[in-house]
Amino acid sequence: MPLALYALTAGAFGIGVTEFVIMGLLLEVGADFAVSIAAAGLLISGYALGVVVGAPVLTVLTARWPRKSVPLALMAIFVAGNAACALAPGYGFLMAARVLTALAHGTFFGVGSVVATGLVSPDRKASAIAVMFTGLTVANVLGVPLGTWIGQQFGWRATFGAVTLVGLAAFAVIAIFVPRDGRPSDAEDWRADLAAILRAPVLLGLVTTVLGYAGVFAVFTYIAPMLTRISGFDAAAVSPILLVFGGGLVVGNLVGGRFADRSVLAAVFGTLAALALVLASMTPGLRSPVAAVLLTGLLGAAGFATVAPLQMWVLSKAEGAGQNLASSLNIAAFNLGNAIGAWAGGMTIDHGPGLAFVPLMASLFPIAAVAVALMAATTSRRQARVCRSA
């Protein structure tokens, strides 16, 4: 794999830390601002909605920029947003800073996915996407547990200060290793791109992504209180257990990429089914500390095994025209799923059967995603037959 791909992976690492580290600090942030766990969980929803807005808007605005300028500008936004989080005087300011940080997220991964697939041979495209997304998995293996520990020892503001330094380092690595290229990141007209993605297979693919990841984040948003209040772990144990989750992410991400290289459609169905099974097992399993640790790792593996197949599927449905925009919108779809999942988990806690039943509720999302994926596959085959007969 070329060094430019690993430079993008470094940027993905920084973004992954700031997206996920808040999950391990919900109790600390909630206590500092005197808000409930569900209200603190909305910081995840706010970030996710920032990605949903920023992904298509910034992709269109930067469509004519040179390739190297796009990730550098996005990392600058990332650094500014995290510095604002560290200095936030209140809950509302922190929410606004999280949204600002999120604006860079979708376009970075969306444009990066297209660039990554162009750096390798056709039979390695899904693996190239998986390598770039490894930055997210490594962020969970190293960055999130370390950030959680820093927040518990020195305060959650220190965590965001450290993430700001990570962003500066990622900016430097991209500046050094990504070659200067005068070509724009997307040579297509955005209106043509929009027309390309407004076809049923692409839209159904985006809906599949939303539903699949809603299930992951309905649980992961509240993993710290689940481990402490249901499984009986001390707060200090949350950080080491997140290492297990991160290890699962690494394995699941790479396996999902290899699986998708063989058959994208089979990988989509298989990974979503595995995710539903893991989530359904967590409601009874969290009662046992040993099972809780094992299932946390399996949640990471099953959740991130879906990433490369879903991203590759939407790219394949876009069929050339509008791939940058389709890719960014799929990143937005992941994060819309994050926002819906965090909200649904909070509603289950505050107005439903409670914290212990969040995983069971969450399993309904990937089950629905399988149904939508089946509809998308059927629609694609029908359109293919129409094209051949014409």
Q: Which of 50-54, 80-84, 120-124, 362-366 has the lowest mean pLDDT?
A: 120-124
Domain residues for the domain of 10 are 3-389
- Tell me the pLDDT band of 186, cut-offs 50, 70 and 90: very low
Which of the pair, 9 or 129, is modelled with greater confidence? 9
Sign of the C-alpha dihedral, residues 269, 322, 2, 141?
A: negative
Tens of pLDDT, residue by residue over 294-319, are 999 999 999 989 988 887 888 777 66
- The predicted pLDDT at position 214 comes to 93
Mean pLDDT, to the nearest integer, of 190-218?
82
CATH number reported for the structural domain that contains residue 236 in this entry = 1.20.1250.20
Provide the residue type at 231 as one letter. Answer: S
Q: What percentage of the chain has pLDDT greater than the value 70? A: 89
What is the pLDDT confidence band of residue 389, given thresholds at 50, 70 and 90?
low
Is pLDDT larger for residue 174 or for residue 390? Answer: 174
Which residues, in sequence order, are bridge partners of residue 66?
184
Within a 10 A sphere around the Cβ of 236, how many other Cβ atoms?
A: 12
* pLDDT class of 187 with cuts at 50, 70, 90: very low
The pLDDT confidence band at residue 384, using thresholds 50, 70 and 90, is low
Taking the CA atoms of 334, 337, 343 and 346 in sequence, report the sign of the dihedral they define.
Answer: negative
Segment 236-284, tens digit of pLDDT? 888 788 888 878 888 888 888 888 888 888 999 999 999 999 999 999 9
Asked whether the beta carbons of 9 and 134 are under 8 A apart, the reply is yes
Rounded distance between C-alpha atoms, residue 59 and residue 52, angstroms? 11
More confident residue, 257 or 126: 257
305: left (phi over 0), alpha (psi -120 to 50) or beta: alpha
Query: What pLDDT shows up at residue 192?
Result: 67
3-state secondary structure the chain: CCHHHHHHHHHHHHHHHHHHHHHHHHHHHHHHHCCCHHHHHHHHHHHHHHHHHHHHHHHHHCCCCECCHHHHHHHHHHHHHHHHHHCCCCHHHHHHHHHHHHHHHHHHHHHHHHHHHHCCCHHHHHHHHHHHHHHHHHHHHHHHHHHHHHHHHHCHHHHHHHHHHHHHHHHHHHHHHCCCCCCECCCCCHHHHHHHHCCHHHHHHHHHHHHHHHHHHHHHCCHHHHHHHCCCCCHHHHHHHHHHHHHHHHHHHHHHHHHHHHCHHHHHHHHHHHHHHHHHHHHHHCCCHHHHHHHHHHHHHHHHHCHHHHHHHHHHHHCCCCHHHHHHHHHHHHHHHHHHHHHHHHHHHHHCCCHHHHHHHHCHHHHHHHHHHHHHHHHHHHHHHHHHHC
199 in Cβ contact with 317 (< 8 Å):
yes
CA–CA separation, 355 and 318 (whole Å): 39
Per the structure, the count of domains in the chain is 1
Least confident of 24-28, 61-65, 115-119, 262-266: 115-119
CA distance 232 to 286: 9
CB atoms within 10 A of CB 388: 7
Instruction: Assign 58 a pLDDT band (cuts: 50, 70, 90).
Output: confident
User: What's the whole-number average pLDDT of the chain?
Assistant: 84
Span of 106-120, 175-189, 279-293 with lowest mean pLDDT:
175-189
Assess whether pLDDT exceeds 70 at residue 181. no
Q: What is the pLDDT of residue 330?
A: 81
For residue 320, the model assigns a pLDDT of 57
φ, ψ for residue 66 (rounded to 5)? -60, 150
d(CA 92, CA 46): 11
**Listed residue (374, 94, 128, 140) closest to 261, CA to CA:** 128
